[in-house]
Structure 1
């Protein structure tokens, strides 16, 4: 009953309407950005080809007039290099209408690079080239020639949000909806009514927390699913759900470096990557809202709660890279709090960045859930103590 009342209060507030509008606008702007990126790639490639061909003609004219053999040879080498570049760029444009050719040639490239890596003994390159060859080979065997990011569709929209965009949107929504949810009770004097309710004070905070999580979840994940579905239906790309896109590998320690284990690779298709990203986003929503509720309980002014939380996020962002070079593993754990790059989390590639054996997907989930419990319990304790003081 109390949870229902909290959700109703959020839905009737002006901040919810603001959050809804912001969510829609941000998603539309993000779609516009992706759409322009896919179209500009083609346009810029054609312009580059035209400029390069113009340069080739100028060099050919100079070559025809030149009498010095050394200069002639130099001009011819430049012409050959530029002509090779033009052929490669024209091939890229051909790939748009012939994705099968692109996938097959990419697979051949990674096979050659894999063989070269075996000769050089570079374990990281060996892993990278081998897995990419496996991904493309499996796609070819299924007769599905899909290149992620080549066209503007639902998969591209959803997975592109792995890189900071999802993180920023979750923070914006959590602050809009949750920063005032406790502090307003003191500001408006309604906390006196809450005291008369025959419920535990812990339940009041828990219900506010759950109501905020559910609202942010519905706004953020719900809007993602709507855009994802519409864009895939429009582009006709739902059929590529089983195309292999990314990979997860376990790691082993060799000296002070961490290297992939070649025989323990898990290939991920588009559907699996999308599911893992959504799971990571849910964990992030749970953790971020917990922190926001904590600061909302401390301050009677929601603005102070927002500023305090934002300051924490900025501090983590500033020190994140610095903490990576620290040798103490426990301090490196701090870099996994509120991970802004979700792709690194759900593909389990944090080890290469942090160079620490236990920095995995499960650690990120566990750490952020632990942090959530601490924030929520602290909020409950602060709320109970403030009631006693008042």
Structure 2
């Protein structure tokens, strides 16, 4: 009953209307950006190839002058990586109007690169090339030649939000709806009425927390699903749900060193990748709202609550990369708090970036849920203590 009353209060407030408008506008602007990017993809790719080739020439000059063998090896690895990118981008240009031939050529390219990696003994390249070859081969066997990101559709819209866009929207909506949800009770004096209710004080905070989570969830996930369905219906791309899109590499951990196991991988299709992103967003909503409620309970002014929370986000953002190079592995876990690039959480890139810890999807989930519990329990304790003091 208390939860229902809190949800009703949120829905009737001006802030909910503002949040709804902000959600729609941000999604429309994002769609416009993606549409323009997809139309300019050919020109952008050509410029990207030219810039990358320029970087390769600069690295080759450095390589020729360098005498230190270790540094030369690093330069050579960078050159090889950039050459691989150039070849991939040239394939995009060459076969942009022929997706079938493009996928077949890509598969052939990764097969050749895999054979070359076996000869050179580059284990990381060996893994990347083999799995990419497997992904494309499976798509060819299904007779589906879909290239992610080539057309403006629902898959592209949803998965591309993993790069900080969804994170930004969650923060904006959590602050709009939750930053005043407790502090307003003090400001308006209604907290005295709440204290007369025959309910546990913990239930008051929990109902506010759950109501905020459900509202942000409905706005973020609900709006994404609406845009996703409409864009896929318009582009006719729902049929590609089982096309393989990405992969997760299983890692063996010895201490805090990570060793990839080549043949133990999980291929992800478009649908699985989208579902994992939505799950990650839900975890992020739960964690961020917990932090917002905590600050809203501390301060009687919602503005101070918003500023404090925003300061924490900025601090985490600034020190995130620095935390990765500290000597104590447990401190590196702090870099996984409020992950802004959601794709890093559920694909192979997280393990590539963080080689010192077992940074899997499950670690990120557990860490952020633990943080949520701390924030919510602390908010309950502060609320109870305030009642004793008043």
The TM tier, using the shorter chain, reads 0.7 to 0.9
Structure 2 distance, partners of 1:368, 1:125, is 32
Superimposed CA distance per residue, residues 282-332 of structure 1 (whole angstroms, 9 cap, x where no aligned partner): 000000000000000000000000000000000000000000011211100
d(CA) in 2 for partners of 1:177, 1:204 = 16
What residue number does 1:380 align with? 380
Residues 92-101 or 273-282, more deviating: 92-101
Task: Using the TM superposition, give the Cα deviation of residue 45 of structure 1 relative to its aligned residue in structure 2, in angstroms.
Answer: 6.3
Contact (CA 8 Å) 1:243, 1:269: kept in 2 or not? yes
Q: C-alpha displacement at 1:250, in angstroms?
A: 1.0
What do residues 146-185 of structure 1 show as CA deviations (whole Å, max 9, x unaligned)? 1100110000000000011110100000000000000000
CA apart distance, 1:259? 3.4
Residue correspondence of structure 1 range 280-359 to structure 2 within 5 A: 280-359=280-359
Quote the offset at 1:260 in angstroms. Answer: 1.8
- The residue aligned with 2:259 is 259
Residues 1:116 and 2:116 aligned together? yes
- Report SS of the residue matched to 1:96: coil
Take 1:101 and 1:213, find their aligned partners in 2: how far apart are those partners? 46
Who is 1:219 aligned against? 219
Displacement of 1:359 in angstroms is 1.5
Q: Helix, strand or coil: the match of 1:267?
A: strand
Aligned residue for 1:61? none
**Match of 2:73?**
none
Contact 1:178–1:292 (CA under 8 A) maintained in structure 2: yes
In the alignment, the residues of structure 1 paired with residue 47 and residue 219 of structure 2 have an alpha-carbon distance, to the nearest angstrom, of 41
| 1:205-238 deviation digits (Å, cap 9, x = unpaired) | 0000000000000000000000000000000000
Instruction: Say if 1:272 and 1:89 are closer, same or farther in 2 by CA, change over 3 A.
Output: closer
SS in 2 for 1:249: strand
Alignment check: 8 A CA contact 1:124 1:259 kept: no
Shift of 1:368: 0.3
How many correspondences in the alignment?
Answer: 353
Equivalent in the alignment of 1:230: 230
The equivalent residue for 1:13 is 13
Q: Which residue of 2 aligns with 1:58?
A: none
Structure 1-normalised TM-score?
Answer: 0.87
Contact 1:348 1:361 in 2 (8 A): no
The 3 A distance-change label for structure 1 pair 89 and 355 is closer
Is the Cα contact below 8 Å between 1:103 and 1:145 reproduced in 2? yes
Asked if the contact 2:332/2:357 (under 8 Å) is kept, the reply is: no
Q: Distance in 2 between matches of 1:179 and 1:152?
A: 35
Name which one, 1 or 2, has greater alpha-carbon Rg: 1
Alpha-carbon distance in structure 2 between the residues aligned to 1:2 and 1:283: 24
**Unpaired segments of 5 or more residues in structure 2?**
50-86
Tell me, yes or no, if the aligned pair for 1:2 and 1:207 is still in contact at 8 Å: yes
Is the 8 Å Cα contact of residues 297 and 379 (structure 1) preserved in structure 2?
A: yes
Alpha-carbon contact 1:182-1:293 (below 8 Å) kept: yes
Q: Deviations over 1:316-369 (max 9, x none)?
A: 000000000112111001001001111010115322212124221101000000
Query: In structure 2, how many angstroms separate the alpha carbons of the residues matched to 1:118 and 1:47?
Result: 32
Check whether the contact 1:258–1:352 (CA below 8 A) recurs between aligned residues: no
**C-alpha distance in structure 2 between counterparts of 1:95 and 1:238, whole Å:** 23
Provide, for residues 215-274 of structure 1, a one-character-per-residue CA deviation record: whole Å limited to 9, x for no partner.
000000000000000000000000000000000111135898533211101100000000
